[in-house]
Amino acid sequence: MSALPLPAGDALLWRPEPYRIERVRRDLADTFSLDLVPAGGGAPLAFRPGQFNMLYAFGLGEVPISISGDAEAGGPLVHTIRAVGPVTEAMRGLRAGAVLGVRGPFGSHWPVVEAEGMDLVIIAGGVGLAPLRPAIYYALRHRRRFGRVCIFYGARTPDDLLYKAELKRWRGEFDLVVDVTVDRASHDWAGKVGVVTRLVEGGGYDPLHTVALVCGPEVMMRYAARALLARGVAREGIFLSLERNMKCAVGLCGHCQLGPHFVCKDGPVFRLDQVERLLAVDEL
């Protein structure tokens, strides 16, 4: 049975609710995390690992951002955002006390409850660790319900590694495999260098009893999926989180269409066999 709270019903999904920024964390030069609490008091919305919210910067626009906090902690709603364009750049400039609009939560979730009893392999690239962090929190909270738990994380350089302090802590857990690699480094980096897909070869998990959750740039996910298949993980056990531009987030406007799917409603988390044919194509 799921230990996770159920998200709110559809009625609340059209109107942005005002949320106050309780705390801003500067994660990387261009990436920051916002802790949000309802401006009018009360508990933040409930969500499942892998779901996203539409965050509205008043007067500027709305962007889909995954929820990166702990679904069971009951604390503020956490989002980790990389500043890439007008809306996310504006959000980078916000300080504690500022107010954002929040609509959500939307979309499908990582099958963490369904994966209980299996080995869990989590593969993240770059800021793709953010949408996976709630799944990691779930696995840590319910560690005994899983077999082996592996976290494979790749980033561009050591300076681009997200949540460094947490990664260190997770690495210290004796029943967790945490393997980190970067694409390039100078000599003072004592860790691994190479693409994240190579980590899939290690970890000691049992491919026949593995559920894999993958999030990162689309090309990286495609190669990670191939590496998992080559290790013998079943297509049905591989899940990816996809991104497409969004507007309504409730399956009406068609902005996020990917072949027969709406990413906002059928995704963002898909099983590999649902999307693998579409992934080879650039824009659909």
Partner 1 sequence: MGEITGLDRLLGEHPFFAGMPPDVAKLLAGCARNVVFEAGRYVFREGGAADQFYLLRHGTVTLEVRVPGREPLVVDTLQEGDVIGWSWLLPPYQWSMDARAQTLVRTLALDAVCLRGKLDAEPALGYELFRRFVPVMGRRLMAARLQLADLYARPSGGRG
Ligand X SMILES: Cc1cc2nc3c(=O)[nH]c(=O)nc-3n(C[C@H](O)[C@H](O)[C@H](O)COP(=O)(O)OP(=O)(O)OC[C@H]3O[C@@H](n4cnc5c(N)ncnc54)[C@H](O)[C@@H]3O)c2cc1C
- Sequence-distant (6+) residues with CB within 8 A of 60 are 86, 87, 90
Query: Which listed residue (13, 45, 54, 87) binds ligand X by CB under 6 A?
Result: 87
Tokens of residue 86, six digits: 């007008």
Query: If we measure between CA atoms, which residue out of 213, 212, 194 comes closest to residue 155?
Result: 194
Q: Is 277 left (phi over 0), alpha (psi -120 to 50) or beta?
A: alpha
Binding annotation: 248, 253, 256, 264
Least distance in Å: CB of 197 to ligand X?
A: 20
Q: Give the binding range for ligand FES (CB under 6 A) out of 40-48, 160-168, 226-234, 245-253.
A: 245-253
Nearer to ligand FES, 123 or 275 (CB): 275
Structure tokens at 76: 């503020």
* Radius of gyration for the alpha carbons in the chain, expressed in angstroms and rounded: 18
Whether omega for the bond prior to residue 268 falls within 30 degrees of 0, making it cis, is: yes
Q: What residues from 93 to 152 belong to the interface with partner 1 (CB under 8 A)?
A: 125-128, 130-131
What does 193 interact with, of partner 1, ligand X, ligand FES, none (CB < 5 to 8 A by kind)? Answer: partner 1
- Regarding 33 and contact with ligand X (CB under 6 A), the answer is no
Does 218 bind partner 1 (CB under 8 A)? Our answer is yes
Question: What does each C-alpha distance from 120 to 91, 138, 238, 281 come to in angstroms?
Answer: 34, 11, 10, 28
How far, in Å, CA of 261 to CA of 191, rounded?
A: 39
Q: Taking CB under 8 A as the criterion, which residues in 233-252 touch partner 1?
A: 243
- Give yes or no for residue 254 binding ligand FES (CB under 6 A): yes
Which residue, 10 or 188, is less far from partner 1 as judged by CB? 188
> Nearest to residue 53, comparing CAs of 39, 41, 36?
36
Q: Which helix (H) or strand (E) holds 31?
A: strand 31-38
Residues tagged in the binding site annotation for [2Fe-2S] cluster: 248, 253, 256, 264
φ, ψ of residue 79 to 5 degrees: the values are: -130, 135
Residue 207 or residue 251: which is nearer to ligand FES going by CB?
251
Closer to partner 1 by CB, 52 or 146: give it: 52
The CA distance from 176 to 151, in Å, is 8
Q: Given the rule CB under 6 A, which of 40-48, 136-144, 181-189, 255-263 is the region that contacts ligand FES?
A: 255-263
Contact set for ligand X, span 94-133 (CB under 6 A): 127, 130-131
Contact between 86 and ligand X per CB under 6 A: yes
Q: Residue 136 binds what, of ligand FES, partner 1, ligand X, none (CB under 5 to 8 Å, by partner type)?
A: none
Q: How far apart are CA 276 and CA 281, in angstroms?
A: 10
Q: Please tell me the distance from the alpha carbon of residue 23 to that of residue 102, in angstroms, as a whole number.
A: 16
Please give the Cα distance from 29 to 39 (Å, whole number): 28
Q: Could you tell which of ligand X, partner 1, ligand FES, none binds residue 232, using a CB distance below 5 to 8 A set by kind? A: none
Q: Is 60 in the site for partner 1 (CB under 8 A)?
A: no
The residues that touch ligand FES, with contacts defined as CB under 6 A, are 246-249, 251-256, 262, 264
The residues that touch ligand X, with contacts defined as CB under 6 A, are 52, 61, 63-66, 80-82, 84-89, 127, 130-131, 243-246, 268
